[in-house]
């Protein structure tokens, strides 16, 4: 069954650190290498411990020899995190010349598709691409909210975990309007 009509997805905004979330799955704003980076990625590996990196290395040795393409998502175990799974997704780097918003929307849609495969009912997302990858928060938030609202998913609890007051305010402004 790929259709989940009638299943409501509740979207919640949380200010905080995604590594502290008690959700079935937390989403990592990873890079293509899957071998770690800064921002959310660094925090997840630091707090989750070496088990996550070991799982990422297995992915690189297997199906994802060239890395995880932009806009796609893949799950690993979550090590010492409270979550059961980490869903790694690679956001597009912001570009003023090229509209990459479809790739950013794909990150959310594909992460929820992976969550459905896992049987996860709660998923915590960061604001993908809005840190090191330079996406303007307002646009990144608009794409994130629209993508989750449009998704055909059995996930009932989607949480956006916003790291600072500004990000939270931007999401809250859009979610209300
Ligand atoms: P990207 O490389 O996709 O831009 P980043 O991890 O650099 O990913 O940033 C994505 C967003 O997550 C930014 O808005 C950043 O402020 C925020 N962020 C950084 N650390 C955390 C954290 N521990 N929990 C939640 N959000 C975080």
89 lines ligand 1 (CB under 6 A): no
130 lines ligand 1 (CB under 6 A): yes
* Residue 147 contacts residue 123 (beta carbons within 8 Å): no
5 CA distance to ligand 1 middle (Å) = 32
DSSP string, 45-94: HHHH-HHHHHHHHHHHHTTTTT-PPTT-EEEEE-TTSSSSEEEEEEPPPP
What pTM did the predictor assign? 0.96
41 has catalytic annotation: yes
Question: For the chain, what is the total number of helices (H) and then of strands (E)?
Answer: 5, 6
Mutation probe of ligand 1 site: the residue of 68, 163, 167, 168 with most atoms within 8 A of C-beta: 163
pLDDT in tens, 104-143: 999 999 999 999 999 999 999 999 999 999 999 999 999 9
Which CATH fold topology does 3-176 show?
Answer: 3.40.220
pLDDT in tens, 69-110: 999 999 999 999 999 999 999 999 999 999 999 999 999 999
128 CA distance to ligand 1 middle (Å) = 7
Asked if the ipTM is above 0.95, the reply is yes
108 lines ligand 1 (CB under 6 A): no
3 CA distance to ligand 1 middle (Å) = 31
3-state secondary structure at position 35: coil
Radius of gyration of the chain (CA): 15
Residue 176: its pLDDT value, please?
A: 79
């Amino acid at each position: 069954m790929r259709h989940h009509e009638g299943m409501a997805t509740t979207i919640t905004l949380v200010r905080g650190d995604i590594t502290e979330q008690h959700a079935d799955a937390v989403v990592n704003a990873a890079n293509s290498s899957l071998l770690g980076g800064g921002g959310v990625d660094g925090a997840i590996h630091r707090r989750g411990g070496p088990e996550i990196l070991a799982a990422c290395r297995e992915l690189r040795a297997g199906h994802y020899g060239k890395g995880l393409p932009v806009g796609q998502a893949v799950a690993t175990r979550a090590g010492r995190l409270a979550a059961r799974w980490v869903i790694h997704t690679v956001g597009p780097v912001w570009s003023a010349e090229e509209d990459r918003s479809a790739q950013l929307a794909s990150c959310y849609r594909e992460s929820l598709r992976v969550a459905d495969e896992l049987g996860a009912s709660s998923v915590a997302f960061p604001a993908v691409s809005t840190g090191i990858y330079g996406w303007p928060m307002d646009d990144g938030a608009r794409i994130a909210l629209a993508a989750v609202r449009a998704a055909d998913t059995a996930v009932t609890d989607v949480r956006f975990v916003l790291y600072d007051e500004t990000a939270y305010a931007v999401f809250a402004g859009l979610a209300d309007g």
